[in-house]
Copies of this chain bind each other. A is one copy, B any other.
Amino acid sequence: MFKKIAIFGVGLIGGSFALALKNAEAVERVLGLGRSTASLARARELGIIDEIATSVAEAVRDTDLILVAAPVAQTEAILAAIAPYLQPGTVVTDAGSTKSDVVAAARKALGVKVAQFVPGHPIAGRELNGPDAAIADLYVGKKVVLAPLAENTPQDVARVAEAWRQCGAIIHQLTPEKHDCVFAAVSHLPHLLAYALVDDIANKPHADLLFQYAASGFRDFTRIAGSSPEMWRDISLANQTALLHELDSYLVQLTQVRALLAVGDGPALEAVYANAQRARHNWIKTIEAAEKPEKQGGD
């Protein structure tokens, strides 16, 4: 049970975290902070937070847990603002999509107090944003990756894990570096590819004709290109090294597939397609099997 929690950024991610903890009766009092007074007022109206903190000092004082749920590029400034008030016994975590850069920012902003910072990344989202998009069951059955630092105490890591578990999430652990490699491959690269494809088509002289015949396959393939350009610019730059590595690997792959197509090698082309179909099918089966007991057992 948490007596006091402070949330920096009361939108979809931070707001859903607060709602879930309240729903589970795992928190007594939630304070909110953020750049937009309108969002903070709305979050209080919706019962996401109990109070709008009047200062960082008030938000941080005697707080059990602080969640930073703002765009990744703001993490360092927020942690720097928190640092002077951070008391022993308070644990800080975040919800950023990249971890190596967040860890670097935390070390810079918090100094030795970085021991109290447990980096995290909930793998959940919706296509909506802001406090109105927040829902109590956003994290039910979803993964939360914690990327603990060598300096973290097991107690602090356990406390952050417990908060997410109360939200219905399943806890995973990766190093910050491994985290960033994994998400470069399965999330950041697909976003870049989808953006690049739509931009490429939009810049063609006959773009209107092309879009006229785009159908449901194209719609699904490019859905992630509907995401926030600012957010994905930040993620791309924050995870530049791993993303470049994955992009280069994919460019090699595309060049090989192009060669098969150019010589009309049907069997080899089919082998690539069939391997992909099989792998995707197995993946879908695995996640469906994993989600089932979770859904049945979840509260």
Contact = CB atoms under 8 A, between A and B. Distances in A.
Interface of A: 123-125, 143, 145, 172, 182-183, 185-187, 189-204, 207, 209-211, 213-230, 232-233, 236-237, 240, 243-244, 247-251, 253-255, 257-258, 261-262, 264, 266, 269-270, 272-281, 283-284, 286
B210 A276 contact: no
Given A251-B251, A264-B237, A226 B277 contact: yes
Nearest to A221: B190
B213 A220 contact: no
A267 to B, nearest CB: 8
A210 B186 contact: yes
A177 to B, nearest CB: 13
20 contacts: A123-B213, A123-B215, A182-B210, A187-B215, A189-B197, A190-B197, A190-B217, A192-B257, A195-B272, A196-B254, A196-B272, A199-B253, A199-B279, A201-B279, A202-B275, A202-B278, A217-B223, A221-B221, A228-B277, A229-B274
A233 B273 contact: yes
Contact of A261 (B200, B229, B243, B286): B243
Contacts of A196: 250, 253-254, 257, 272, 276
Contacts of A284: 219, 226
Report how many copies the assembly holds. 2
B185 A226 contact: no
B190 A229 contact: no
Contacts of A145: 213
Contacts of A220: 220-221, 223-224
A201 to B, nearest CB: 6
A270 B186 contact: no
B230 A195 contact: no
Given A207-B279, A211-B283, A274-B229, A217 B187 contact: yes
Given A201-B279, A217-B187, A233 B286 contact: no
Given A221-B224, A230-B270, A254-B254, 5 more contacts: A125-B216, A190-B218, A200-B249, A211-B286, A244-B262
A214 B190 CA distance: 11
Given A182-B213, A194-B276, A243-B261, A251 B254 contact: yes
A254 B258 contact: no
A237 B269 contact: yes
Given A201-B186, A202-B275, A244 B261 contact: yes
Nearest to A193: B193
A15 to B, nearest CB: 19
Contacts of A262: 240, 244
A266 B72 CA distance: 14
B143 A222 contact: no
A190 B225 CA distance: 13
